Amino acid sequence: MQIQLPITTYGMDILRRKTKSVLDIDGEIFELVNNMMFTVRNADGIGLAAPQVNKDVSVAVIDISLIDEYKNYDPLILINPVILENHGEIVLNEGCLSIPEVRGDVLRPEKIHLNYFDLNMKEHNREFEGLPARVIQHEIDHLNGKLFVDYLNEEDLKKNKVLLKKIRNGKIETEYPLYNPKENKMNQ
């Protein structure tokens, strides 16, 4: 049975820590991946990294199939992903389930060469570009303790200052469950 995991939010320590590598796929990792995929779909997101569900492991899931032009795009499970190369630059507007309602323009490479493992611990080396490359970079940032707001210019940060403070203080509501450290005693 899949469950929707609560999302950690801006200001929580786990979002600023580098995750630990996954050494082997056990039942716990398999269950985590399935629940993360269920969670991202039910939150109307397109990517989710383990720290966003309060887990300190190098795992991310991506499903951009809810976007019309990518409806036939297979979901990705990334274990221990590393960007080997990148090319070009493009600015696009980003948001994040862990930072609800905040959006901003972020400059990122347009194409990436990625090394990662799948759920069978099979190694892959693939090129990605466009939206898939962007979402992968966003999720890998999460695995390294970095958030998209770290890329925002002063003007965008100022514009979102009050909202960021509300999120940090737990004064935000969403359609999906949020992690509350006082209520949830999950393992990290």
Q: 102-123 burial, b for 16+ CB within 10 Å, e for fewer?
A: bbbebebbeebebebbeeeeee
DSSP tag of 150: G
C-alpha distance from residue 187 to each of 56, 106, 154 (Å): 9, 32, 36
Q: Give me the sheet containing 123-129, strands edge to edge.
A: 47-49, 59-62, 76-87, 111-117, 123-129
Find the distance separating the first CA and the last CA of the chain, reported in whole Å: 21
CB-hemisphere CA count at 13 Å for 150? Answer: 13
Mention every residue, 6+ apart, whose C-beta is less than 8 A from residue 26: none
| Residue 154 bears catalytic tag | no
Report d(CA 141, CA 23) in Å as an integer. 20
Task: Give me the catalytic one of 31, 85, 89, 139.
Answer: 139
What are the catalytic residues?
139
